[in-house]
Amino acid sequence: MKYINIILIVLLLGFVSSCAKIAKNTSKEVAKESAEKVVKETAENVSESALRGFSRDALRKMKWKDILKSIKKEHINFGSDLERLDGTLQRGIEKTIHEDPSFLEKMLACKPSTDEFKVLTKDAPKLAENINFYKMFVNAKSSGRKTFDGLTLKNEGSLVKIFDSKGNKIAQVKDGIVTLNPLKKGEKIFSDNSILNRELLPNSIYKIKGENGVQYLYKIDGVGRISNIEAKGLTSEELMTNVINRNHDAIFDEDGEQIFKNLKQTYKGNDLNVSYRLDYTDGLEQPKYAHLDIKSQNKTLVSKTLKVQEIDFSDFISKNLSREERIKIMRDAKFPTDGKGKWSGARGNSDFYPNLDDVPKSKGYGNKEGLTWRQIKEKWGLKENDPIPYKNGQPDFEAMNQVYGKVVWNSEKGIGEHLKASNNFNKLTLDINANKKLAEQKGLNPNDRFDRYVISVYRGSSEYVEKLAEHWKCSAEEVWKRCDNPTRRILVWHENLDGKTMILVPWDIHAPLNHVGGMKMYKEAYKKSIG
């Protein structure tokens, strides 16, 4: 009887344990089925348009077939086009979306053609199934850059060779290493036709030998941006041109500018060893920080983290002007020097404190009274200690509460539509169009000449005061009051870098403050857009 009881107890314990395992396994299965059900329902209920703004966490869990199915609900042709890609490549796209859901957003925005991709890789089958090359292809389509124009790709053994339009080999690719032709005498790495100025192959290393046999290594991150540069035996000139590349990569804060200036002026050797690492934020193409280490004969000359100025350009400007072109325009702005005042940080992207006793010079009607900055600030209601804030190379008039009118051109090409119709980008005609739009905002008739006179006086012109006084049968003083300009301030149209917005601002403040001209930037971008 004793043994029977023991056996019963053992059996009972086994049964309980088995139940526990079954319950545990059942719980796991239920949880798994529940998760799969959520993902499946998500995939079934979300369309292509919803995918753009859908939770990135959800996209990381969705299978490629479900994403594809959702795309096809909205764009059957594009979804079917994607299905024709190599199977290995489709699995790579799924993995890429799980790691970086923004890649799907790029695909949906540009809808890359499978036929075009296949034509591009027809002689280079190794690239036809390479996910990094496909990412490069999508990036180029998304940005609008003509990365592959004039190039031919061809497999030769284990290599993929790249030829230009004349049939000259300019690079070769093997195992993620892109080897460029050595530089010729006087040639720069970032010349206009350089591959490094086009879209870059993600997760790769670009190798190139300089004029003196110096080897440069450019490491490319998973998004397709230069993340690290290594080189040994450089002169200070080679450092600036081929590594820092100041006209291409970034504009640094004051510390960085001073470091580069000192190196260029004082160092005359050719044994600089450089490590230059760039840190980015949220998939932006411009770095936020640069970590610079420079040594000579095992002695550290520079080891510093530099802050990069943040520059926010409109999509239209970014699409039609290269980074090099945009930054060159920024550098040509000739912001006020320290002799004219003090900057709180980076010149052109921080607060500027003008010397209060300085009489700023300007063209046109700006400060025609010859006022000091102290008097200008008082005239426009600013305090003596108030700074002139700069953002993205322009004075921030809204932050100073110095905007007296605003118009926005809502077409895709923004200001460009009016520039094209204004006799080769004539600024006067553009201002007239802006005046008409401002008149409509104020309830006036832009086709009525007297209403146009009102806007002219509102902006500070005295040309039509007498005619309005005669029309209204009142004094000149009353005309200024009726036109909402009793102090006879003079206002000028200023173009923002978004390519669409124009604001009326004080000419006294606008004219003497050198800045990045939205008009100049946009003219260049628009000219390139129309060829």
Kindly tell me if the per-residue pLDDT of 27 is higher than 50.
no
By the 8 A CB rule, do 138 and 106 touch? yes
CA-based nearest residue to 132, from 116, 121, 123, 143: 121
Distance from C-alpha of 249 to C-alpha of 429, rounded to nearest angstrom: 35
Number of helices followed by number of strands (H, E) in the chain: 22, 17
Confidence (pLDDT) at 48: 41
Per-residue pLDDT tens for 54-82?
A: 577 888 889 999 889 888 888 889 999 99
Per-residue pLDDT tens for 345-373?
A: 777 878 899 999 998 876 665 677 888 99
The 3-state secondary structure of 248-306, one letter per residue: CCCCECHHHHHHHHHHHHHCCCCCEEEEEEEECCCCCCCCCEEEEEEEECCEEEEEEEE
| Sign of the torsion angle spanned by Cα atoms 184, 190, 191, 195 | positive
* Sheet containing 341-343, strands listed edge to edge, beginning at the edge strand earlier in sequence: 341-343, 351-354, 388-391, 394-395
Distance from C-alpha of 345 to C-alpha of 310, rounded to nearest angstrom: 12
The SS3 of residue 126 is helix
Q: In degrees, to the nearest 5, what angle opens at C-alpha 164 toward C-alphas 162 and 166?
A: 135
Per-residue pLDDT tens for 466-513?
A: 999 999 999 999 999 999 999 999 999 998 877 778 899 999 899 888
Question: Alpha helix (H) ranges present in 282-398?
Answer: 315-320, 323-331, 373-379
CA-based nearest residue to 96, from 232, 224, 260, 256: 224
Percent above pLDDT 90 for the chain: 39
Helix (H) or strand (E) holding 333: none
Distance from C-alpha of 38 to C-alpha of 19, rounded to nearest angstrom: 28
Per mean pLDDT, which of 41-50, 187-196, 229-238, 450-459 is the most reliable?
450-459
Helix (H) or strand (E) holding 56: helix 56-61
Percent above pLDDT 70 for the chain: 78
Distance from C-alpha of 72 to C-alpha of 94, rounded to nearest angstrom: 16
Per-residue pLDDT tens for 153-163?
A: 999 988 999 99
Residue indicated by tokens 């403040």: 509
CA-based nearest residue to 305, from 249, 256, 238, 236: 256
Q: Which residues pair with 406 in a beta bridge?
A: 503
DSSP 99-119: H-THHHHHHHHH---HHHHHH
Helix (H) or strand (E) holding 204: strand 204-209
Per mean pLDDT, which of 47-51, 237-241, 275-279 is the most reliable?
275-279
